[in-house]
Structure 1
Amino acid sequence: MFHAFDNDGPNQPLQRQQWMALLARAPLAVLEPALGHYLDRPAGRAVHWLRRPEVGLMMVQGRAGGTGERFNLGEVTVTRCALRLQEATGALAGVAWVLGRNQRHCMLAAVADALLQDPARQAQLDAELLEPVRQHLRLLAHERSNRAQSTRVDFFTLARESDGGANEEDDEQ
């Protein structure tokens, strides 16, 4: 489904669209240890909320067979937020949209978005945060593939043996 985002070409620079797609699908168990301390700072907090996490609905569209006309499939719950991090290198703004109602996930994804915009931190965060997310998503895709493979049915056709039509000639005579 997200093949283009999950499979970067070799030596491709990290792009915001790619990391935001990964962060939106990242498990909270991966984000929390790496970024939780940014949100849990005491009174001199470095996080300034531009938009606190809020839950809403978004219309999802689909296509019949993947190629037909678009139609409204239904609504999904999403959480969004925007923040500004005050860091030594300056203020960095981060935003996030995630499926579901998990506000903590949305906040951590926004923190990661802000930090990833700093070129000095990109390589480190890619290795320590985004690569575990990619591995997790590859594992989920592999498990989903295995479940689908276990229900696979192979159809085959048996060819009827024929002796070249000799019986038909005998019947006519």
Structure 2
Amino acid sequence: MPANKQWMVKEWRGAVMVALMLGWGTLEAQAGTLDPSLEAGVSSEDSPTLTLGLHHSVTPLPWLSSEWQSWSLQLSGRLLLLPGRNSEKSNAALVLAPALRYTFAGGTFIEGGVGAAIFLEAHLRDSEFGTAGQFEDRLAIGRPWGPGALQLALAHYSNASIKQPNDGLEVLSLGYRWRL
């Protein structure tokens, strides 16, 4: 590798390390703020859903300009349960998903993100997923209510046509997230 490219690689490594340390420092400063959530919903297969989650909110750094203070990063780990009906098999997924949240004056928020999900089975009722690994696209709207927030969310699970069939799955849910 030419000397000038080696220098560029070293500079990029240094920049990445600084960015990681700043990010880690931000998370460490906010450590211990895992908020639990509970969501009930229905899938596009007319199956009931129940989602248990833990969330961490990374707020903007105070020295950022005021227009960035309404944005936050939401880091979520969720367990999506899809109980079967009668003789149908149940399914479940572990979901890890970041989301960007914009909070309006008054507390109402919108958020969206793309994450990853691992399902126990690559099918549910009439849907064939092709793979157990799926991407999650999620949009939500909510507002503060009591000691937490009430939200309505729509999630789509798909393997992005990595393997056929790729029927996908949608889940519409109403949930509550407690602020601890």
- Select the structure that is richer in helix: 1
> TM-score, normalised to structure 1's length?
0.28
- Select the structure that is richer in strand: 2
> TM-score, normalised to structure 2's length?
0.27
